[in-house]
Copies of this chain bind each other. A is one copy, B any other.
């Protein structure tokens, strides 16, 4: 009836006795320190295995004394999504303090590879872990690898650098996000013909490119009657997004769907309403004060969201687990693609 999921209550001392060695030797084995004969190592390892011994995380943490420092390298300038991440880190202040974790924000121009790389290099040695919103570029990749080689734990946040040796990526699968957007636009349009517009920040950004790729995939295979117009680039700015979209709306009277890949949402919404085209199915990204209002007003039909709070917390937890040498709860740290409509606004 009552089934226990955990067992351990042993200490290092028990392992030492079990393996017939002293505490010091067990300690050497546990931390891969030299000076233990291979045969002895094996005996100790076996004793650990046999009881599936786990060091008491509280004791380990206390014993090491030294506090840990993490750095979050984020875009400078006003970006609502990043501000939310920062805000959530602020909310964790108590949690962090109780664990003697120091988290520092480092603002930099993440869109300039050399500047970003320099910022990363500057962190070397001072931090136990670094979370970075990274551009995928050779010099950035090299900077990340240098950090890793120096023993710093590195996670990429929101935007990945898969070719680097970063330990983990905390963010969504952007191709799947684009596919989801495509499925939503297609389904919500609910008719078999018409045109669909895409507004992106830049096709040079990895995440935007991936989203567009996924979007087109679904449109082509599942909604062949809908024709996708060439991608507009709004540089994630409101005014520019508004201009390019307004022109497009003027040229095509039969636009029935719109996918806004990045930011600049305010401008997109304005172009739509100024043109009197509120009936166009409008799917965008992220739940912010603005998109929340647009959803409630019915201007936006759905938002694809990656929970910034979850990303912030996941990044911290992953860095901490990496630093402690603990396994990562992959399922927990996976960032899900949320579909947010008016009625499930968080």
Which residues from chain B contact A183 at a C-beta distance below 8 Å? 341-343
* A271 touches B (CB below 8 Å): no
Q: Chain B contacts of A289 at CB under 8 A?
A: none
Asked if A77 lies at the interface with its beta carbon under 8 angstroms from chain B, I say no
What chain B residues lie within 8 Å of A193 (beta carbons)? none
For A310, what are the chain B residues with a Cβ–Cβ distance below 8 Å?
Answer: 332
- Determine the chain B residues whose CB is within 8 A of the CB of A191 once the complex forms: 190
Interface presence of A9 (CB below 8 A): yes
List which A295-346 residues lie within 8 A (CB) of chain B.
301, 307, 309-310, 313, 326-327, 329, 331-332, 334, 336-344, 346
A175 nearest in chain B by CB position: B343
Chain B residues with CB under 8 A of A342: 183
A3 to B: closest C-beta gap in Å: 5
Q: Is the CB of B336 within 8 A of A6?
A: no
Which residues of B have CB within 8 Å of A309? 331-332
Kindly list chain B residues whose C-beta atoms are within 8 Å of the C-beta of A57.
58, 98-99
Q: How far is the CA of A338 from the CA of B62 in the complex (A)?
A: 39
| Alpha-carbon distance between A331 and B312 when the two chains are bound, in angstroms | 12
- Contacts A62-B56, A62-B59, A91-B329 hold; do A96 and B6 have CB atoms under 8 A apart? yes
Q: Beyond the given A5-B93, A8-B97, could you list 19 further A-B residue pairs with CB under 8 A, ordered by the A residue number?
A: A2-B106, A6-B97, A8-B100, A52-B97, A54-B97, A56-B98, A58-B59, A94-B326, A94-B327, A95-B329, A179-B344, A180-B343, A182-B343, A183-B342, A183-B343, A188-B188, A190-B191, A313-B329, A339-B344
